[in-house]
Amino acid sequence: MPRYALKIEYDGKPFSGWQRQKEHPSVQGAVEAALAKLERDVPSIAAAGRTDAGVHALGQVAHCDMAKDWDPFRLSEALNYHLKPDPVAVVACARVTEDFHARFSAEERQYLFRLISRRAPLVHDRGNAWRVAHPLDPDAMQAGADRLIGKHDFTTFRSTMCQADSPVKTLDELRVETLSYPSGTEYRFHVRARSFLHNQVRSFVGTLERVGAGAWSPDDVKAALVARDRAACGPVCPPQGLYLAAVRYPTDPFA
């Protein structure tokens, strides 16, 4: 069966997450329903990461096996037609080898978290960013982030529901970017690693927000990491500002 890689963009607000569920709408369910309009008995698709409810994607990658030899452009166009009106789009499609796996072939995952500091409620970014009403110190947040770079036991920043075999991960990047607007300031957290623990990025950002607000020092972040205790973590921030930005493979299937 021909295998195809799909690069998928979606707004996570209407969904219970990526993973298909019987009683709740999911991104996987929407894509598989669109595939079923094209061919009967399409096998279940696999994705690079299972995003939670309310989490968005700019570059989720999934693979599917089809009975027909589709032209990749026509397959993406057909899927986008049948995905309407769900806020999901296939932005790229490519034929890949049978040994390509969206999850297991991935070498790196990149996440983006958007945090906006302003007094007024969000209008255009409502549900797509986390708003706080107080000012934040980006230099302090970056100093705290720097304490987390490298290979560590991230038990403190791991959900109690996490099913990963080990809390030891290597964090390659945690960078704070500042964007100033007339209506407020946006802080973008760029995070890169081969793989992540459940709620790891949201735990990072919630903790670093406390640093930016002056309630924690950068060294408090290091102490929380060393504690290897979930109780030492700062507040876990809401999912609305989190995006699966990109997935990197040894060879880019969409190049």
Catalogue the active-site residues. 52
DSSP state of 98: T
Give 79: exposed, middle or buried? Use CB within 10 Å, 0-12, 13-18, 19+. Answer: buried
Q: Which helix (H) or strand (E) holds 93?
A: strand 88-96
With beta carbons less than 8 A apart as the criterion, state whether 65 and 5 touch.
no
Q: What crossing angle do the helices spanning 27-38 and 72-83 adopt, rounded to 10°?
A: 120
Q: Which two tokens stand for residue 206?
A: 């919630």
Selection from 181, 182, 176, 178 nearest residue 207 by Cα: 176
The CA-atom distances, in angstroms, between 214 and each of 24, 49, 98, 134, 222 are 39, 33, 51, 11, 15
Tell me the backbone φ, ψ of residue 14, rounded to 5 degrees. -80, 0
Tell me the backbone φ, ψ of residue 41, rounded to 5 degrees. 60, 40
